[in-house]
Structure 1
Amino acid sequence: MNEVEMNEVDRARAPRVAIVTGGARGIGAAIAERLVADGMRVASLDILQPERPRAGIADVPCDLGDPAAVAGAVDRVRDELGQALVVVHCAAYQVIAPFEQLDALEWQRTFRINVDGAFHLVQAALPDLRAAGWGRIVMITSSSQFTPPPQMTHYVASKGALTGMVRALATELGPLGITVNAVAPGLTATEHALVDVPEAHFAAVRSRQAIPRTGLPDDIAAVVSFAVSDDIGFMTGQTLLVDGGEGRI
């Protein structure tokens, strides 16, 4: 075996590198931890930082709404961990407000983080996926686009935009060996939701689910684990709804 062939073997054996946005807490943190357990080297891109270092996760400060910051963060991941061939966009901004009272700046910020952040991230990471001829892209969307709650039109619209992006990118990137899928959580018991969502609402959602318990971040992370694996190589452009059967689509 010559030196070039040996280098190819080493690359094939090396742990895959994954980028997870919004990985400091909540569903993003659970995804990052699950991918580490799956044997990946993980970088969390988040404007927030965890309270303490986490084994196997490189925490990279990043404002997802800033194209230069995203490009710089992806470059840093490449330099420190290697080419990231798994990209998971989980970072999201969410406020609850009636549509007629919604501030235009809140609408813009919702799209800047939820949608523009995905655009900047994929553009920055795509050259490495293209060069490898393999990649997994996952967008964390929301079950709310199927069963929209009141006072969240801006958030639902942003998640719908991500779903459209997933479908179009799947068409464009499929010939390159790159799959693009969405994972849509239902109401999940994250730190944020447990503070902001009344227990009565959790109970109402449970009553509509086929599986009558509240979803956990690990439930979402398990599906993301599948969505970035080799096993999903013939599935792309799809939305995997993880809501305990509330939507049943």
Structure 2
Amino acid sequence: MNINEQVVLITGASRGLGAAIARAFSREGARVVINYYRSEKLANKLAEELGDQSLAIKADIRDSNQVTVMFEQAKKYFKHPVTTIVNNALVNYVFDPQNRKTPDTISWDDYMQQLEGSVKAALNTIHAGLADMKNIGFGRIINIGTNLVQNPVVPYHDYTTSKAALLGFTRNMAKDLGSYGITVNMVSGGLLRTTDASSATSQEVFDLIESTTPLRKVTTPEDLADVVLFFASPWARAVTGQNLIVDGGLVMN
């Protein structure tokens, strides 16, 4: 299925990386569902920018009932089921190396909050979209990860652990869903310049990344968004269970 035939649901799409992914899909002609939780004004502004082939829907992705309703609303609006899911949302997290939780201050509740926002949320979206994907014999599920799993240069314990779990989740889902024409992959970025989540990062850190990265640049949300398009495109039809690191070559895997 070409991108311009797809209905793409992006969680946490009102700002930052999610908004860049929404714009990338819209640019290629896809119908786009902009999921948000708190940022209603930004979500509606983005939907207005992208036009009537987009729809902003509020849902807490940790709540399976709200996710199911969101998928039903999208199907009703576009008169076509969701074909493509991008699990992007980041729940209550800021990348602040100076004020991060350390081994003596981090709690199990911190881990659970990130695991629920990452793995549980991805499970909820898959449950909500799976029946329609099986019915049409096509599905694209793209999970957003991090290169910190391979190289925890800053040990964000709860966040990185949740993304490591999401990688295992990705590969297991890929194994089970491939026979239905559904691929499941991950795109893992480095620190992005600049999103709300990375706004607490100092210029010195960005400069260090730039100087030690083979491409001599800090990855942008737009850079990563274009790779998400690849996994949704016909060019990736034989690719599943993979984790593609998009960080300018900082981590080579």
- TM-score, shorter chain, exceeding 0.5: yes
Q: State the Cα distance separating 1:49 from its structure 2 match.
A: 2.4
2:7 counterpart of 1:21: no
Matched-pair contact (CA < 8 Å) for 1:182–1:237:
yes
Q: Report what 1:60 is aligned to.
A: 57
- Residue 163, structure 1, aligned to residue 167, structure 2: yes
Cα RMSD between the aligned structures? 1.8
Q: Structure 2: any 5+ residue segments left out of the alignment?
A: 95-99
- The aligned residue for residue 102 of structure 1 is 106
Give distance in 2, aligned partners of 1:50 and 1:183.
27
TM-score under structure 2 length normalisation: 0.89
TM-score by length of 1: 0.91
CA deviations on 1:33-80 (whole Å, 9 max, x unpaired) are 100111110001121224323323211011111111111111111111
Percent identity over the alignment is 28
Give the distance between the partners of 1:129 and 1:108, measured in 2 at CA.
29
Residue 49 (structure 2) pairs with residue 45 (structure 1): no
Amino acid at match of 2:11: T
Distance 2:243 2:108 in 1: 29
* Contact residue 167 and residue 243 of structure 2 kept, 8 A: yes
CA pair 12-155 structure 1, distance change in 2 beyond 3 A: closer
Distance between the aligned counterparts of 1:120 and 1:204, measured in 2? 38
Q: Which amino acid aligns with 1:140?
A: I
What is the 5 A alignment of 1:98-137?
A: 98-137=102-141
Q: 2:2 and 2:122 mapped to 1: Cα distance?
A: 27
Say which SS state the counterpart of residue 179 (structure 1) adopts. Answer: strand
Quote the Cα distance in structure 2 between the aligned partners of 1:100 and 1:137.
Answer: 36
Counterpart of 1:54, as a letter, is: E
Paired with 1:165 and 1:115, the residues of 2 have a C-alpha distance of 7
Q: Contact (CA 8 Å) 1:24, 1:46: kept in 2 or not?
A: yes
Give the aligned partner of residue 35 of structure 1.
25
The residue type equivalent to 2:61 in the other structure is L
Once the two structures are overlaid, the 10-residue window that deviates more, 198-207 or 13-22, is 13-22
Larger radius of gyration: 1
Shift of 1:205: 1.4
Secondary structure of the structure 1 residue equivalent to 2:33: strand
Query: C-alpha separation between the residues in 2 aligned to 1:88 and 1:191?
Result: 18
1:180 pairs with 180, 184, 189, which one?
184
Q: 2:143–2:186: 8 Å Cα contact kept in structure 1? A: yes
Distance apart, 1:216 and its partner CA: 0.8
Give the 3-state SS of the residue equivalent to 2:19 in structure 1.
Answer: helix
Structure 1 residues 200 and 14: CA distance shift in structure 2, 3 A = closer
Are positions 1:223 and 2:220 aligned together?
Answer: no
Count of residues paired in the alignment: 239
Is this contact kept in 2: 1:25–1:50, CA < 8 A?
no
